Structure 1
Amino acid sequence: MKISYNWLKEFITIHKTANELSLILTDIGLEVESLEKVQAIIGGLQGLVIGEVLTCVPHPNADKLNITTVNLGAENPFQIVCGAPNVAAGQKVVVAPVGSTVYPLSGEPFKIKEAKIRGEVSFGMICAEDEIGLGKSHNGIMVLPADAKVGVLAKDFFDLEDDFVFEIGLTPNRADAASHLGVARDLGAYFRSAHKMPDISTFKVDDESLVIPVSVEDATACPRYSSITISGIKVQDSPAWLQDRLKVIGLRPINNVVDVTNFVLHGFGQPLHAFDAAKITSGKVMVKKLAEGTLFTTLDGVERKLSDADLMICNNDEPMCIAGVFGGKSSGVDADTKTIFLESAYFNSVSVRKTSKRHGLKTDASFRYERGADPNITVDALKIAAMLIKELAGGKISSSISDIYPAVIKDFEFEVKYQNINKLIGVDISKDEIKEIIVALGIGAKEMDVETLALSVPPYKVDVTREVDVIEEVLRIYGYNNIPIPTKINASLGYGIKPDKENTNNTIADLLSANGFAEIMCNSLTKPAYSKNIDAAVHILNPLSNDLSVMRQSLLMPALESVAYNQNRKNPNLKFFEFGKTYQTKNDGYVENQRLLLLITGSKETEQWNQDSKASSFYNLKAAVDGLLSRLGVASYQTDTLEDEEFVYGLKYFRGQQMLVKLGAATQSDRKLAGVHAEVFYADFDWDVLLNIIKKNKVINKEVNKFPQVRRDLSLLIDKNITFESLKTIAFKTDKKFIKEVGVFDVYEGNKLPEGKKSYALYFILQDEAQTLSDNQIEAVMQNLIKNFEQQAGAEIRK
């Protein structure tokens, strides 16, 4: 959700900078994910000056050009060659002098340079609207009022002010903050100052010339429906101030009527919808559900089949709008609209969520209705919008407000005890401060006795219905950072089944962190497209959105989203790990599996001046896996090559019949689905299996061997299909007493070898725990190795 700093200041007096406010918003539960400085006009008219055309004569060498002299407030005027047909002496104009940069609506920005045009020198440019981003017109230069002051910076003349946009990661339970008003209410509670609302006391109905009756057939799906009509309007572009308000939060201005509905939506949190009243041919509006399979074409031009559970706004039996979700193509406002029917309603959140999901439609309106709108603002929002439309589009308010509200939605009423607040928060906050915070949050509070408050919570706070919810509200305004960390922690000794899962997790987390991995925690709810077996997926019965409608079957896809998030923010070199659960259905039941994911991508190490940066590889991941298994004491494993649709290539590690971990390179299709462009390697541990295996591990202490180790090397010429693992198995079967370690230190494949062959250089570490090995013993072991490699692997020993 985007919030404009300047727009926010219309609702509350702010004495903090945007950066300071960013920290405060995060502290009170509205996490600011990014803060961006924006300009209403690209370039901010930097360097442009207000000038006066002193003289204007035809260019001697060009029919369509004029030579002007322009006063910019300096000692001497400037000569500028101008091709605009409307340029004339005496005009006040916007001038881009030499050295300034112009940002046109179309095309690339360009810097103004001294130029010679058809033999005459030009020291700047007299600007048209579209050349500096102030409008669309290119019929001629922009002529300013006669009282415009020469020499004033254009930025100051047009009163341009830089803005800041907060990108707030709004959690699903904070529907009350899904607007500038909502954020201002929270800030008002933090600063203990009142927020401001526009004055609607001057609202009045001009006449009753266009009354459109409304009937609501389903009061459960539509508890409140308010409406009004406005006649004699002129649909046109919105004024610059309104366009700027919408542009800065990423919305495209459409026309003065639609822009006002978007202004009220993002300003006050109340969705509105404007219908062309002339297209309501039946003369009445009905809020009802239609027959299954009814066809309806939405604003995006898509014909959809309606469900009999979809609430519709209808022209008698003809659908005009999917209630709370999306408008219809045939009933919307266009350039020919003269009268409008303006809707401001409160729709049931569950009904809207199901309809939105059913049709795959996510809109700004459905976003708010799904989470819970404010049933008490519908009429005030209508008045604000109607007054603004009348101001910007003319016309008259041609009906009283129709407000169908059969069952008033009451405040949530319950009690809260001071001692419970302090007990749960863990710090003693004075009763006066607690009550002050509660009242500042817009919650009615009446003291029942010295320890109890009777509360009345407005329904726009949809997540505050219990004592514990109020305690959370008090805590976030009081400040999590103001809760002291205790210097003493009391704990009792307990006995648990070994190994302790949490201790094991912490041990491995410390190991991974020490090796450069960062822990991530991803949402267990994810997209259906991420499920490899959608039939076995655990579906959420009432999901907040389609992107959060199933439980994850793998840790990979959410982790890849984290990779994409970091890479898009210029952080490409990543090493992640996550402990988490996966979920699936099985035999009419549900199965949870604890897993650990390791993931690496990008460069292996930070770029240095004295060495090249190397990309992470499969073998870097394998080393991390081997180290982790070794730390758990699971060093005796077998590996198989991996055949799995989730991986391009990789390995599977086994302990007996149990698979411990799969590792390899993520497929291109998975990376594309998550928006990741770089190669990613990951390892997927079955943590339940590993915890079960290490239960049987016994800690054995033994003395450090006093007798030296001996290293011997062998170079083997073998078939390409022979793996190192098979050679390692042969070696340990050859001698179980003296051989302690087998490794490979060189592999060669090339045209100097026979076709189908490769060369392995192996090292062997030998040691006797009882005495120093003799040369004869070492030689006997090596001869046995050579013999078995030749017989069992078809190896040729290279001298």
Structure 2
Amino acid sequence: MKISYNWLKQFLQVDWEVSKTGELLTDLGLEVEGIETKESIKGSLKGVITGEVLTCVQHTNADRLKVTTVDLGNGEPVQIVCGAPNVAAGQKVLVATVGTTLYDDKGEGFKIKKGKIRGEESFGMICAEDELGLGDSHDGILVLEDQVKVGIPAAEVFDIETDYVFEIGLTPNRSDAMSHYGVARDLRAGLIQNDLKLELISPSVSNFHVDERTLRFDVEVDDKDLVPRYCGITITDIEVKESPEWIKNRLKAIGITPKNNIVDITNYVLHELGQPLHAFDAQKIKGNKIIVKTLEEGTKFTTLDEVERSLSADDIMICDADENPLCIGGVFGGLKSGVTENTTSIFLESAYFNPVSVRKTAKRHGLNTDASFRFERGIDINCTKYALKRAALLIEEYAGGKMASDISDFYPIKMEDFQVFLSYKNAYRLIGQEIPKEKIKNILASLEIKINSETAGGLGLTIPSYRTDVQREADIIEEILRVYGYNNIEFSNKLNTSITFDENKETKIENIVANQLSALGFNETMANSLTKPEYNALSELINDDAKVAMLNPLSNDLAVMRQSMLFSGLESVAYNLNRKNNAIKFYEFGKTYHKYNDKYQEDKHLTLFVTGNRTKDSWKTNTTNSDFFYLKGVLTSVFERLGIQKLKVSPVKNDVFSEGIALGLGKIKLVEFGVVRRALLKEFGIKQEVLFADINWDTVLKFSGKKNVKVAGLAKFPSVKRDLALLLNTSTAFKEVYNLAFQSERKLLKEVDLFDVYEGDNLPEGKKSYAVSFVLQDETKTLEDKQIDKIMDKLQQSFEKNLEAVLR
């Protein structure tokens, strides 16, 4: 949020250095993240001074140029060549002297230099108003009034303003500080603690009066819970035109582009007092009635940004007597009812809308306006009518308006201020230091918190309506502490604490595995459990009907709970690859969320992501890419560390892996891992191979440490390993090779593993190469070569017959 220092000074006549003021605001909890210098005209016209044209003659070598001599007030007239058609002797003008930097409408500067123009020397430039940023005219030079003195800076003639703008990181609870007046109110409390007692000057509305009662709109509110207060007034005979310079300067300082006097005044009061306002063209309201209600689901409405929106049945709408929608209450105005240059009368609205309703509406329509920002956090309901009067008086002054009706004020149930009792004992306990009671009372008074009663033990307090976040004793203590100053609290040099740590079995096992993976070079990640609904369509394994959707999502990217940890992990991989971190080894403990038959289910997983080199590039070692078997080795070591052995390998075929296998105990799968399909990687902009493992952590916990480890002697007879390089159709999966191998040899075949896959050049179209290893062993004797060759021939023939395989 941007706060102008000059604007603050309208409420507090403070003369502190801007940096010192920023430090105090930060100490008060309004953290100043930066201070920016703002000028009403860039460069503040430095180097531009007033002058008088003494002589003006035709240039001898140019029909459109004239040679002038100009008095700059220092007794030494200078010669300036000028091309303006209206330049003449005797004029008072503005001169950009040599060395001055002027800025164009894009903010780009150009320096005035001494030069020769068609043979005549020129020492400066007589300026038009657009060249100085004082207007848009370029018909000729800017001619000043005769009474203007010669030789004075242009900034004094035109009252050029230099301002300092605080960028405040406002926390959501501080709705009271969402305006310049609110910040000034807080600043005053801080200044009092620095022994600087200043009066808080509030804008006066004492001159408000009704001029004539010629145009009135009755106000009807359907739901007082959605709209506890609604005020409005009609103003006629207005002239829509440009705003005065001082209003434009205030708005431009905080980054708001001025539009016209009516819109600018509503924006000005919003940022001055924190109360959003809206002006309707009165001629576009039918039936002399304003109805505040909700409309049918799906009703179409075009907002000021010319976007047609489909309304919800929960949106607060401002309607006319025919129930035509005019505005989305508290969020955005309508295109057809807005103020234009032809508007002559307006209905000015000031209201208090339900914060929850406004927030839901704003999120629903993807709108974030200055008005919704304030309504969502809760404004001061007692400021509603006051702000309306303030804006109406400004419109009367700068648009020539007349008050054409009394103020309509729908406020059926007055909102009472909060009553809180503050215990001195609790204050001392939470603060950690005893603050004098008089000091506490002075701080509360500076915050406009009224003391109703006082006892030896504490104070009975009434909280002002604008402090919607102060409702408990602890909130009061926090207010006292932040104004007193956190830095003023003394700290003991001795710290006493009791540390207890009860690590359960699940946490212990998780830490064991985390430490092991970290030792292997993996980094732990932690992704958001909320994700995009679109990810559910990326895999057939995700059941869209089982998704857990947010009722009020923060954004479309965080609308559902994740059903798989794959996609959030790939986001992290892509993020790192895009920043030149190409050697990635990640692991994450997390949960997936599902809804089955109106029952919710959470499953815990451990996922691993591996891509790129196994180690960092180094001149000492050769780089080796992480591959399928590297990840298998990591997983095997993790399970062995948990006492889970004799894992059964089985193939996996799904739309996540191009090649994948599962490890398990019997029919129970503990992990599925493999190479992620290229088509899936493409969705995340990943161009290199990524290996992914998904461990069902809940299942792992059931088997870890439950079985006694049995030690068996080494096999008496050796195993034999043979490899085959098979050329297969691309549609053939490893699962088919795996199953067919065990069907062909059930007795002596112990293991079948895939250790290389190749798809690319030098292969026939529609083919791929598998390198498969086979482990043979007879537990009763040593296998002979003839027996081994016979088994391998049988496997080869089976592959050729059933899978159309060719031996490479």
- TM-score in terms of structure 1 length: 0.72
Shift of 1:346: 0.9
Residue of structure 2 equivalent to 1:242: 247
The Cα of 1:507 is off from its aligned counterpart by: 7.9
Larger radius of gyration: 2
Q: Which runs of 5+ in 1 are unaligned?
A: 703-713, 731-741, 763-782
Q: Deviations over 1:662-697 (max 9, x none)?
A: 68789999999xxx9887979685574486268438
CA-to-aligned-CA distance 1:36-73 (integer Å, 9 cap, x gap) = 63534685357642242534333334433333444567
What is the total number of aligned residue pairs between the two structures?
Answer: 757
What is the match of residue 37 of structure 1? 36
Query: Contact 1:560–1:671 at 8 Å: present in 2 too?
Result: no
| Residue identity opposite 1:451 in structure 2 | G
1:457-606 alignment runs, 5 A limit: 457-471=463-477, 473=479, 479=486, 487-492=495-500, 494=502, 496=504, 498-500=505-507, 504=510, 508=514, 522=528, 535-541=545-551, 550-551=560-561, 553=563, 581-594=591-604
User: Structure 1: how far apart are the matches of 2:519 and 2:198?
Assistant: 46
Between the aligned partners of 2:686 and 2:75, the Cα distance in structure 1 is: 59
Do structure 1's residue 84 and structure 2's residue 84 form an aligned pair?
A: yes
Paired residue secondary structure (2:356): helix
Equivalent residue number for residue 140 of structure 2: 140
Q: 1:233 aligns with which of 238, 252, 259?
A: 238
Aligned to 2:320: 315
Q: Which amino acid aligns with 1:401?
A: I
Give the drift of 1:509: 8.2
Q: Which amino acid aligns with 1:490?
A: S
Match of 1:768 in 2: none
Query: What is the rounded CA distance, in whole Å, between the counterparts of 1:724 and 1:446 in structure 2?
Result: 81
Matched, 1:342 2:330: no
Q: Does 1:214 align with 2:226?
A: no
Matched with 1:203 is 206
Distance 1:688 1:120 in 2: 87
Alignment of 1:611-622 (within 5 A): 619=626
Deviations, residues 415-445 of structure 1 (Å, cap 9, x unaligned): 343444555x473443636555555544434
Structure 1 residue 383 displacement after superposition: 2.5
Shift of 1:294: 5.3
For residues 573 and 317 of structure 1, the distance between their equivalents in structure 2, rounded to whole angstroms, comes to: 64
Report the equivalent of 2:60: 60
Q: CA 1:301–1:654 in structure 2 vs 1: closer, same or farther (change >3 Å)?
A: same
* Residues 52 and 72, structure 2, Cα contact 8 Å, conserved in 1: no
Matched, 1:286 2:291: yes
Deviation at 1:150, TM superposition (A): 2.8
Task: Go from structure 1 to structure 2 and tell me whether the alpha carbon gap of 1:641 and 1:402 turns closer, same or farther (over 3 Å shift).
Answer: same
Secondary structure at the counterpart of residue 499 of structure 1: helix
1:528-574 Cα shifts (integer Å, max 9, x gaps): 66765665443444567777665455668888999999999x99999
CA gap 1:560/1:41 in 2 versus in 1, 3 angstroms: farther
Asked if the contact 2:608/2:693 (under 8 Å) is kept, the reply is yes
User: Following the alignment from structure 1 to structure 2, what is the Cα–Cα distance between the partners of residues 649 and 639?
Assistant: 15
Report deviation, 1:347: 1.6
**Aligned mates of 2:328, 2:335 — CA distance in 1:** 11
CA deviation profile, 1:207-250 (whole Å, cap 9, x unmatched): 43145243233222221122233333321122333333333433
C-alpha offsets along residues 502-545 of structure 1, whole Å, 9 cap, x if unaligned?
A: x84598389759969586675x5666667656654434445677
* Structure 1 pair 400–514 and aligned structure 2 pair: CA distance change class (3 A): farther
Secondary structure of 2:250's counterpart equals helix
CA gap of 1:583–1:335, structure 2 versus 1, over 3 A, is same
Q: Structure 1 stretch 458-467 or stretch 743-752: which is displaced more?
A: 743-752
Distance 1:374 1:65, change over 3 A: same
- The alignment partner of 1:500 has SS state of helix
Structure 2 Cα separation of the partners of residues 42 and 71 of structure 1: 25
Instruction: Report the CA distance between 1:164 and its aligned residue.
Output: 3.7
Distance (Å, rounded) in 1 between the aligned partners of 2:463 and 2:677: 50
Query: For 1:92, what is the secondary structure of its paired residue?
Result: strand
Residue aligning to 1:100: 101
The letter of the residue matching 1:246 is: L
| 8 A contact 1:625–1:683 mirrored in 2 | no
Corresponding letter in the other structure for 1:150: G
Query: Closer, same or farther in 2 for the Cα pair 1:525/1:317, shift >3 Å?
Result: farther
Q: Secondary structure at the match of 1:342?
A: strand
Q: CA RMSD in A?
A: 6.1
Q: d(CA) in 1 for partners of 2:28 and 2:735?
A: 57
- 1:738 alignment counterpart: none
Q: Which moved more, 1:352-361 or 1:246-255?
A: 352-361
Match of 1:161 in 2: 162
Query: 1:190 and 1:746, CA in 2 relative to 1: closer, same or farther beyond 3 A?
Result: farther
Distance 1:623 1:299 in 2: 59
Of 120-129 and 340-349, deviating more is: 120-129
The one of 350, 365, 374 equivalent to 1:368 is: 374
Higher deviation after alignment, 652-661 or 233-242: 652-661
The answer to whether the 8 A contact 2:185-2:200 is kept is no
Q: In the alignment, residue 696 of structure 1 is paired with which amino acid?
A: G
What is the Cα deviation at residue 338 of structure 1?
A: 2.5
Counterpart residue type for residue 204 of structure 2: S
Q: Secondary structure at 2:600's aligned position in 1? A: strand
Question: Measured at CA, do residues 455 and 253 of structure 1 come closer, stay the same or move farther in structure 2, by a change above 3 Å?
Answer: same
Distance 1:113 1:626 in 2: 74
Tell me, which stretches of 5 or more residues in structure 2 are unaligned? 538-542, 712-721, 742-752, 774-788
Aligned-residue identity in percent: 41
Match of 2:715 in 1: none
Q: Which residue of 2 aligns with 1:411?
A: 417
Aligned to 1:271: 276
Deviations 1:574-613 (Å, cap 9, x if unpaired)? 98887654434222022234456788999999999x99xx
**Which of 245, 259, 275 is 1:254 aligned to?**
259
Using the TM superposition, give the Cα deviation of residue 370 of structure 1 relative to its aligned residue in structure 2, in angstroms.
Answer: 2.7
CA displacement 1:190-219 (0-9 Å, x = unmatched): 555689755443532354314524323322
**TM-score of the two chains, using structure 2 as the length reference:** 0.72
Q: Report the 3-state secondary structure (helix = DSSP H, G, I; strand = E; otherwise coil) of the residue aligned with 1:273.
A: strand
Residue 166 of structure 1 deviates from its aligned partner by 1.5
How big is the shift at 1:393? 2.4
Q: CA, structure 1 residues 23+448, in 2 after alignment: closer, same or farther (shift >3 Å)? A: closer
Match among 400, 403, 408 for residue 402 of structure 1: 408
Displacement after TM superposition at 1:187 (Å)? 4.6
CA contact (8 A) 1:105 1:133 kept: no
Q: Contact conserved, 2:11 with 2:202, CA < 8 A, in 1? A: no
Counterparts of 1:16-31 in structure 2, within 5 Å, are 17-18=18-19, 21=22, 25=26
Q: Does the 8 Å contact 1:91/1:143 carry over to 2?
A: yes
Amino acid at match of 1:391: E
Match of 1:771 in 2: none
Once the two structures are overlaid, the 10-residue window that deviates more, 513-522 or 61-70, is 513-522
User: CA contact under 8 A between 2:69 and 2:79: conserved in structure 1?
Assistant: yes
